[in-house]
Structure 1
Amino acid sequence: MSGQASYLLDRAWLDGRVQEDVVVSVADGRFTRVEVGAEHARLETTRLRGLTIPGLANAHSHAFHRALRGRTQRERGTFWTWREKMYAVASRLDPDAYFALAAATYREMVAAGITCVGEFHYLHHQPDGTAYDEPNAMALALVEAAREAGIRIALLDTCYLSSGFGAAVEGAQVRYSDGDADAWADRTHRLRAHQRPGVVIGAAVHSVRAVPREQLRTVVAAAAGVPLHVHLSEQQAENDACRAAYGVSPTELLHDAGALGPATSAVHATHLGEHDVRLLGESATRSCFCPTTERDLGDGIGPSRALRAAGSPLTLGSDSHAVIDLFEEMRAVELNERLATQQRGHWTSGELLDAATWVGQESLGFADAGRIAVGMRADLVTVDTGSPRTAGTGADENSLVFAATAQDVLEVMVDGVVVVRQGDRAEIGRELDEAIDTIWKAM
């Protein structure tokens, strides 16, 4: 983006508090000026009415799960029975269908104020497990979908080699596997040639059940210098099976493989012992909570506050996209703690906003985003403070976290470009309808 534009923000979340009459100037996708006070508003500005915050980071996404929303709720079951429906969708996608669904899903995210997504990607190959002519065709469909939607992406290319602690992949899982970690690393290395501004190519271990212990270090080595994410202890059954196979917890297994550290995000981190919490905290591994998915699947309530106290920073994701609403994810972290402890007041609104903005952006490889400050990426999300949900709530950070929803987002800027306004939602809905109907009609 060339040239410069200036904006007068009625209210803005700045330096950890809400401030009034903030003037920001943007050039080449970054903030070049951030000043507080109406007396600074002498240049020509566009006024953004409401409360403006930095761009939100969705640190954990499976774009194709969006096709399951509302279609898996009518039967009883568990995470494991839900997974069979997810596999059915996974078996039907090709690069074109994946692009259409992901582009619409990412547009829904941007309309909700999300300016960066961490896509935990494991749909690598054709339905029978053979590679596409372009081995990274499915990954590149996601990268192009993000470009189309106007969102930054950390493509977390995922190693998935086993259906469970050494067992061969089966069914839809044959699409996920490269055969061994060396082959996965080779394909991912070639994918990094497609990295460009607004795109980070990271890595992921699907889970300790899906990557054998002897191959974990290969993945860790290949992920050096990029974000590394991993599903961790989402289900108690995973913990039990890991102990039966290796004699340690999943967290201990990752620690022994050298997988923990500031560049790593442990997704879900639900069923942890005290030693697990200590290992994650002492290594400064991030904990990515996805409360709307964790309650939808009946996973349980993770120890978010204990992890933070131990030294593990919190990030947030919408995972299966049962809901795409980072405001809901923020407040759910606090409300879940209240349910678990029967006490109120575990997380401040400011801490939750940090998790949803700069901490999440950092976890995806965008350390230059998530704050309204000179030199940072120019992401702005303006929220309506007079909607039926937010009216009368004080128009401050508590209003955002405990009252606002994605529907209150008025306008979204990503890297200096306004990509969504409120009137775009009907068009996004039509795109989602078309993409999802195409998938289900093929089943």
Structure 2
Amino acid sequence: MATALTNWAGNVEFSTHTLHRPVSVEQLQEVVAAGDRLRVLGTGHSFNTVADTTGALISVADLPRRIEIDAAQRAVTVSAGTRFGELTQALEPAGWALHNLGSLPHISVGGAVATGTHGSGLTNGTLATAVRAVEFVTPSGELRTVTRGDDDFDGSVVTLGSIGVTTALTLDIQPSFQVEQRVYDRMFLSALRVNLHEVLTAAYSVSVFLTWTRPFADQVWVKHRVDAGEWPHGRDWLGATLASGQRNPVPGQDPGFTTEQGGVPGPWNQRLPHFRLEFTPSAGDEIQSEYLLPIEQAVPALDVLASLADTIAPILHVSELRTIRADELWLSEFYRRDSVALHFTWHPDPVALAPVLRELEAGLRPLGARPHWGKVFAMEPAEVASLYPRFADARRVVRGHDPDGKFRNAFTEQYF
């Protein structure tokens, strides 16, 4: 019997045993042209069925590795299967940086862009906002490129893998910069609520971690660009105190897995992620959800979570609050909204989680919450579509690229 294919966390068992791993773009084109139903599999860090298919999965991880820096254009072209940690290890020695990074350097560039995966900072857009060109294989096997400024470009970046198989992306880069990271312990919810906007915008990137078992945020991670001036806070900040040692935001997990703290300056790629590339941050025994709301709704959202603390806490590892800048990408969870992100890492119990999600979404729905495309959520398709002003245009672009639905699956059929 064939071994089941699963996502990284193991909570999704794919509906196919067929996985293609082409080793050249030409071989990929042949696989696509000959295929019927196909989906692209990145690093498998999605927690729902967005990558599932009854046809065949395609991994681009074995395509020839490309990291081509164009200093004159301040751009880098990277193969889609490259992990962010690998890309940054090439950029930093050359004196270049990306504007933002997600918590995990282990995820692929193509997968992160396709699902609107982000990073943190109210002045920083998602990872997808750095994209200036996307190279992809169409359903017929043709190799095409869409470029910033082209008609419908904003509908061709965050697409959930529905327009073709992305082979490479060209990203904006900027000169390298240094970051110092500090963690504050125990900021009481009363102080956090009153000063929430100040806390979330206190530095280049800020994350607030809560377990909802006590009346305080367990940790506040502050990532400050050294070139922005002196560290903005003292040892005590709104009642919280500087951590006495290295911290891991997930209770019970090894602090050695996380990027260096304590205010030691270091390169952007060794501070902006929460976790180090050389360690797998956990065993995968988790399910994740995330909701993105207008920044103006940050305090009401915090109140919703506080009111549900007794419901959330029993199945929660940790939750995280972050901010992200608005963008113009039609299916981005941050389309035209500076946003607060509410992220949840749950225990791997889908049965127990289902009613919690329904109650959580009932509280967040009036605040305009958009679910993350790659996480677990319960919202109905019509409701999700209503949250995106350009949803009909995005659907038109997807259908224009793939009129016969070669790259569709049950998830995208349901939501598109």
The structure whose residues are more often helix, as a share, is 1
User: Could you state the TM-score of these two structures normalised by the residue count of structure 2?
Assistant: 0.27
**Structure-1-length-normalised TM-score:** 0.26
Return the structure number with greater relative CO, CA threshold 8 A, min gap 6: 1
